[in-house]
Amino acid sequence: MKISYNWLCSYLSVSPDVKELEKILTDCGLEVEKYEKVFSIEGGLTGLLVGRVTSCTKHPNADKLSLTKVDIGNESELQIVCGAPNVEKGQKVVVATIGTTLFPKNGEPFEIKKTKIRGEVSEGMICAEDEIGVGYSHEGIIVLTDTVSVGEPVANYFGVEEDYIFEIGLTPNRVDAASHIGVARDVVAVLALKQNMQLLKPCIEAFKTSAEKPKIEVIVQHLEACPRYSGIYISGVTVKESPQWLKNKLKFIGLKPINNIVDVTNFVLHELGQPLHAFDADKIEGNKVIVDTLTEGTIFETLDGVLRTLSANDLMICNEKEGMCIAGVFGGSKSGITQQTKNIFIESAYFNPAFIRRTSKKHALYTDASFRYERGADPNITIYALKRACLLIQEVGGGEMYSPIIDVYPNPINDCKINFDFEYLNKIAGNEIPIQVQKSIIKNLEIKIDSETATELQLSIPPFKVDVTRKVDVAEEILRIYGYDKIEIPILLHTTISTIQKPDKQKLLRSIFSYLISSGFSEILTNSLSNSAYYTNQPNAVKVLNALSSELDTLRASMLYGGLESIAYNMNRRNTNLKFFELGKVYTQNENKYEESEKLALFITGERFKESWNNPPMHSDIFELKGTVANLFTILSVCEKEVTTQYNLTLHGLQDAIEYSLKETPIAIIGNINKGLLKQFDIDKPVFFAEINIENLLKGLRTTGARYKDVSKFIGVRRDLAILFNKEIRFSEVKELAYKTEKKLLKEVQIFDVYEGKNIESGKKSYAIAFYLQNEAATLTDKEIENSMQKIQQAIEQQLGGKIRA
């Protein structure tokens, strides 16, 4: 956002210098990204002086050139070759001396140099108006009035205005500073801590109307979208070019002057932060302004000549027959101000930010008005802004306030009430900030003190402070004005040393990402806003109030759907062999309590390896994904013996899902995405999905880190068993049971063969399993081995129905 130094200082009782202002703004949270010196005429006419032509003769070597002598107040006169037909002796002219840079109306800037023209030296240039940027004529040189003094800067003659423009990085929560008055308010609060300082707001006491009955009737049909609508009818205005002071104000901050009426509305917007809109009152059919929505699909032509298709949610300013303006966003082509306009209706309203944001985004219309409305304008400034605009319009365009101000405001928006105790701020700051300093800052920020005691204040927060709703927000307001650089670090710092070691989350995530990327996975980033249609069977999904669109109306409850959208997008572009991962938050609602958790999602589909002469095609499958998850557990030092699994689960969108738990806390799910869901995304290949709950996983991890372990001096043994199981028994169930049964000596369980076929009865399968036993303290005895294996065999037979094969 651009702020003019001169404009800003007009609201300050004492003006800081440019450098001091830069520091004040940055220190109080309005970071100055850059500032530059500007002029009302490009280049500021620097180096141009008033000269008097003392002689003028024909150039000896050119018929159309003149050889002149020009006095610019120096000891010696300049010889200048001039090609203008109107140059004469005795004229006072504009002289560009050697080294001066000119900024012509048409063309690039250029520097004046000493040169020879047709054999004669020329020590400068006598200028025409287009050559110095003050007009477009090139028919001859500028001839100045005789009242100007020789040697005087030409900038004085043309009234060149000089200013500094600050570009401020305005954060979304600081819409209260989206105007010159808003920025001035902060500057006053800062400077008032060391000197007497006042905010000089424009006076509107001269405002008066000449009639009692409104000329225009205002009807607000949609109070939720438009809580307040104010307006006034002005008759007999003259639409013309704005005066130079008004044009300069707008040009300095990057706005193009249009006409005096529109320029006033833009001026007030950037002065007070309140958007205004001017209608040609004679084009308001039925003399009624109606705030309502129009039928879905209505075509509306905006000021830029574009035909736009409206939705039923777009708030419109209408007359009895048609729409006139997209409320708070952009005007219409049929009701705007023209040179023929005589009577106008000025709108000053407060619109619901959610409605404006939605419409602005839908139509890709981002205006100064929508910028302020969608962040939260001040509902209680509409009348003041109207009166200010009316007085300025009378000043620059005449007219008469023919009717009283119309104000539709059935449900006034009240100030936010906050109890603020002085000691609370001192605790936050770690320093004692004097009570009088706290009160001074609060008052100068225009926060009203309703009552006070020796320890606290009862405050009324005005609506323009949209981000101040709690006492911690008040503390932040005070501290940014007081200055964070003034908060001293206490000599004695009291800290509590944590004795509980926790896993380094960022370090672990880097390890996970490094492994996944090296394994061929690509990271994706999807929107945390999702489509409610995905969660029709999930009542705990979190719906978004005033969603931007029907496709982004729910906070995602799973990482599944965003990933599928990315897969579909890639497959539509012939990119079919995919391995994706994404780290993100998911959101749920449980018994009126909102919860969020961090999940890591993995997706694989297509071929595992690219086809080559020595590599036959191999499709990705669930076992590939299980292996990836198992490797992640290994990297994170998850103890395999502590992980339990549940099989054949039917989860939303998945079939044959597996859930892993660590210390009885779910940490991951893996499954095939069902074909019905894939069909919704037009995906015709199997997709396998895993979702790891990062927070639950971290809770269950070992906190002591890696430990050194000696290679055992005592040799372990391996015992193999061939065991017959029902087909539905999984090897992981066997492994988990074995670890539970023999916790002391059993170190590892591996399957090395699965057999189904001849000599195996129907519905059965045979596992060949290796059991590795080792005693860390002594050599295993035959009896220990036999006892351990017997316990394992009995558990398998009794709990899983296994039979040992001979």
Res. 634: pLDDT tops 50: yes
CA–CA distance, 224 with 470 (Å, rounded to integer): 25
Res. 257: pLDDT tops 60: yes
Strands of the 456-461 sheet, one edge to the other:
416-421, 456-461, 448-452
> Worst-scoring range by mean pLDDT, 145-149, 207-211, 413-417?
207-211
- pLDDT tens digit string along 372-388? 999 999 999 999 999 99
Q: Into which CATH architecture does domain 42-158 fall?
A: Beta Barrel (2.40)
* Overall average pLDDT of the 250-275 stretch: 96
- Residue 708: pLDDT band (50, 70, 90) is low
Res. 431: pLDDT tops 90: no
Res. 305: pLDDT tops 60: yes
Where do you find CATH 3.30.70.380 in the chain?
717-804
User: Any idea what DSSP says for residue 44?
Assistant: G
CA dihedral sign, ordered 556, 560, 565, 566: positive
Given this model, what pLDDT does residue 212 score? 75
Given this model, what pLDDT does residue 120 score? 92
> Worst-scoring range by mean pLDDT, 451-460, 540-549, 580-589, 741-750?
540-549
Res. 611: pLDDT tops 80: no
Given this model, what pLDDT does residue 236 score? 93
Q: How far is CA 138 from the centre of its chain?
A: 48
Highest mean pLDDT among 494-508, 605-619, 738-752: 738-752
Res. 704: pLDDT tops 50: no
Q: Where are the beta strands (DSSP E) in 357-498?
A: 398-401, 406-408, 416-421, 448-452, 456-461
Type of residue at 148: V
- pLDDT tens digit string along 435-490? 999 999 999 999 999 999 999 999 999 999 999 999 999 999 999 999 988 888 76
CA geometry: angle at 135 spanning 132 and 141, to 5°? 65
CA–CA distance, 53 with 199 (Å, rounded to integer): 51
Given this model, what pLDDT does residue 763 score? 87
DSSP string, 384-422: HHHHHHHHHHHHHHEEEE-SPPEEE-SSPPPPEEEEEEH
Given this model, what pLDDT does residue 500 score? 52
Q: In the chain, pLDDT over 90 holds for what percent of residues?
A: 71
CA neighbor of 43 nearest in space, from 115, 150, 117, 131: 131
Q: Exposure of 446 by Cβ count < 10 A (0-12 exposed, 13-18 middle, 19+ buried)?
A: middle
Given this model, what pLDDT does residue 541 score? 87
Residues constituting the chain: 806
Q: Which fold has domain 2-40+162-191?
A: Phenylalanyl-tRNA Synthetase; Chain B, domain 1 (3.30.56)
**Unique residue bearing structure tokens 């902060």:** 186
State the pTM of this model: 0.67
* Overall average pLDDT of the 586-607 stretch: 90
* Overall average pLDDT of the 181-209 stretch: 95
CA geometry: angle at 338 spanning 332 and 341, to 5°? 110
Where do you find CATH 3.30.56.10 in the chain?
2-40+162-191, 416-486
Q: How far is CA 185 from CA 20, 179, 313, 414, 446, in A?
A: 16, 10, 36, 21, 8
Q: Exposure of 428 by Cβ count < 10 A (0-12 exposed, 13-18 middle, 19+ buried)?
A: middle
> Worst-scoring range by mean pLDDT, 91-95, 281-285, 392-396, 774-778?
774-778
- pLDDT tens digit string along 736-785? 899 999 988 999 999 999 888 888 888 899 999 999 999 988 888 999 99
**650, two tokens:** 């039917």
Q: Where are the beta strands (DSSP E) in 609-716?
A: 643-649, 654-662, 665-673, 687-693
Q: Into which CATH architecture does domain 505-700 fall?
A: 2-Layer Sandwich (3.30)
User: For residues 664 and 460, which has the higher predicted lDDT (pLDDT)?
Assistant: 460
Are 618 and 698 in contact by the 8 Å Cβ rule? The answer is: no
Given this model, what pLDDT does residue 19 score? 95
Which of the four CATH numbers 3.30.56.10, 3.20.80.10, 3.90.700.10, 3.40.50.10300 does domain 416-486 have? 3.30.56.10
> Worst-scoring range by mean pLDDT, 108-122, 217-231, 344-358, 704-718?
704-718
* Overall average pLDDT of the 280-288 stretch: 94
* Overall average pLDDT of the 262-284 stretch: 96
CA–CA distance, 655 with 653 (Å, rounded to integer): 7
To the question of domain 217-408 being in CATH 3.50.40.10, the answer is yes
- Residue 706: pLDDT band (50, 70, 90) is low
* Overall average pLDDT of the 239-266 stretch: 95
Which of the four CATH numbers 3.40.630.10, 1.10.1040.20, 3.40.50.300, 3.30.70.380 does domain 717-804 have? 3.30.70.380
Res. 499: pLDDT tops 60: no
Are 465 and 480 in contact by the 8 Å Cβ rule? The answer is: no
Res. 211: pLDDT tops 80: no
Given this model, what pLDDT does residue 342 score? 96
Where do you find CATH 3.50.40.10 in the chain?
217-408
Are 766 and 760 in contact by the 8 Å Cβ rule? The answer is: yes
